[in-house]
């Protein structure tokens, strides 16, 4: 990975280049992060009165059932998304290089479109699809003679997570698709040409050339997937409000509720720090798995 090279500028020069970006970043992200870390040691409802309570907030966090339930919900969304978003997006990206696939231009153009729409629109539309009485889904099941499959998709705590995850996966496939499409252009054509001469089928080329060449893109995509899905909130809020009960509550909604509905800013900060720690943990795990495969 690390490279010494003749063209390397002096370190001082490198730092100078990094400075403007780092400065803005430190000011907007790192300083407030430290402030949030500090708040998490206080009982604070957002005014001049702050009581230092040590690690109490974190002790409460570890015993907080709703927090852990929301974490499990996030985990579920992440796993589904890695398979659904990254997986399907890659598949489509590959398919769009195949000669027998029709309407490529149309697919390439429109698959990204859901990304530009607000979560309210997506959430609202899917609520209608799931609606028990006149929703498209139950209607189709009925028409297909599958009456026994008809369910209250958003009202049954045991299936609600699956129901709310599908729209999220669906909406962001286009996002990963353009990431893969842009990365695939960086793969030298010569590799494919050489493979063709060797008589490799197109799927073999995908397996032996595209996949390995996109390794770091996969890593970035999975990381974005984890990072993005640890923060999802709006869609689910529009569809279920986090219910029934707290069965579809995710961490970001919980952090928001604690800070802004309950007004417990100290504990809210602890929730946010907890989220950050768990996200970091997940990313580390994914990186270790990724590295393990390489060796």
Nearer to other proteins, 76 or 170 (CB): 170
Residue 6: CB minimum distance to other proteins, A: 6
Residue 173: CB minimum distance to other proteins, A: 8
Nearer to other proteins, 100 or 145 (CB): 100
Nearer to other proteins, 149 or 260 (CB): 260
Among 94, 217, 222, 235, contact with other proteins (rule: CB under 8 A): 217
CA–CA separation, 165 and 229 (whole Å): 10
Q: Considering only residues 159-198, where is the footprint of other proteins by CB under 8 A?
A: 170, 173-175, 178-179, 181-190
Considering only 76-84, 113-121, 141-149, which stretch makes contact with other proteins by CB under 8 A?
113-121
Residue 109: CB minimum distance to other proteins, A: 7
Among 79, 195, 256, 286, contact with other proteins (rule: CB under 8 A): 256
CA–CA separation, 98 and 104 (whole Å): 9
CA–CA separation, 95 and 169 (whole Å): 19
Q: What is the largest CA-CA distance in the chain?
A: 74
Question: Any contact of residue 239 with other proteins (CB under 8 A)?
Answer: yes
Question: Any contact of residue 280 with other proteins (CB under 8 A)?
Answer: yes
Question: Any contact of residue 149 with other proteins (CB under 8 A)?
Answer: no
Number of residues binding to other proteins, judged by CB under 8 A: 133
Question: Any contact of residue 152 with other proteins (CB under 8 A)?
Answer: yes
DSSP string, the chain: -----TTPPPHHHHHHHHHHHHHHHIIIIIHHHHHHHHHTTEEE-SSS-EEE-TTHHHHHHHT-HHHHHHHHHHHHHHHHHIIIIIIHHHHHHHHTT-TT---HHHHHHHTTGGGGS-HHHHHHHHHHHH-TTT-HHHHHHHHTT-GGG---TTT-TTTHHHHHHHHHHHHHHHHHHHHHHHHHTTS-HHHHHHHHHTT--HHHHIIIIIHHHTHHHHHHHHHHHHHHHHS--HHHHHHHTT-STTTT--HHHHHHIIIIIS--HHHHHHHHHHHHHHHHHHHHHHHHHHHHHH-
Question: Any contact of residue 223 with other proteins (CB under 8 A)?
Answer: yes
Residue 68: CB minimum distance to other proteins, A: 15
CA–CA separation, 233 and 35 (whole Å): 24
CA–CA separation, 164 and 111 (whole Å): 20
Among 83, 147, 212, 263, contact with other proteins (rule: CB under 8 A): 263
Among 77, 80, 168, 271, contact with other proteins (rule: CB under 8 A): 271
Among 262, 285, 288, 289, contact with other proteins (rule: CB under 8 A): 262
Nearer to other proteins, 32 or 146 (CB): 32
Nearer to other proteins, 165 or 259 (CB): 259
Closest CA to 66 of 224, 253, 204: 253
Question: Any contact of residue 201 with other proteins (CB under 8 A)?
Answer: yes
Question: Any contact of residue 264 with other proteins (CB under 8 A)?
Answer: yes
Question: Any contact of residue 268 with other proteins (CB under 8 A)?
Answer: yes
Question: Any contact of residue 205 with other proteins (CB under 8 A)?
Answer: no
Q: Considering only residues 30-89, where is the footprint of other proteins by CB under 8 A?
A: 30-33, 35-36, 39, 45-49
């Amino acid at each position: 990975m690390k490279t010494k090279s003749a063209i390397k500028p002096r370190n001082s020069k490198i730092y100078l280049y990094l400075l403007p970006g780092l400065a803005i970043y430190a000011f907007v992200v790192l300083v407030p992060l430290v402030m949030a870390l500090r708040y998490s040691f206080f009982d604070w409802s957002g005014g001049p009165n702050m009581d230092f309570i040590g690690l109490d907030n974190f002790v409460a966090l570890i015993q907080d059932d709703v927090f852990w339930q929301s974490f499990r919900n996030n985990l579920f969304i992440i796993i589904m998304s890695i398979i659904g978003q990254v997986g399907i997006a890659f598949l489509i990206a590959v398919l769009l290089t195949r000669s027998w696939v029709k309407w490529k231009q149309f697919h390439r153009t429109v698959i990204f479109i859901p990304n530009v729409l607000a979560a309210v629109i997506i959430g609202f539309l899917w609520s209608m699809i799931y609606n028990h009485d006149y929703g498209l889904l139950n209607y189709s099941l009925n028409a297909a003679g599958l009456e026994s499959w008809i369910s209250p998709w958003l009202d049954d705590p045991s299936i609600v997570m699956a129901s709310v995850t599908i729209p999220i996966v669906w909406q962001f496939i286009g996002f990963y698709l353009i990431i893969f499409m842009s990365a695939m252009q960086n793969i030298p054509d010569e590799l494919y040409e050489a493979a063709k001469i060797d008589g490799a089928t197109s799927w073999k080329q995908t397996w032996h050339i595209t996949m390995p060449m996109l390794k770091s893109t996969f890593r970035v995509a999975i990381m974005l997937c984890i990072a993005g899905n640890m923060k999802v909130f709006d869609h689910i809020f529009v569809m279920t409000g986090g219910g029934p009960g707290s069965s579809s509550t995710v961490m970001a909604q919980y952090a928001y509720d604690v800070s802004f509905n309950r007004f417990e800013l100290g504990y809210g900060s602890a929730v946010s720090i907890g989220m950050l720690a768990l996200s970091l943990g997940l990313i580390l795990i994914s990186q270790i798995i990724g590295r393990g495969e390489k060796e």
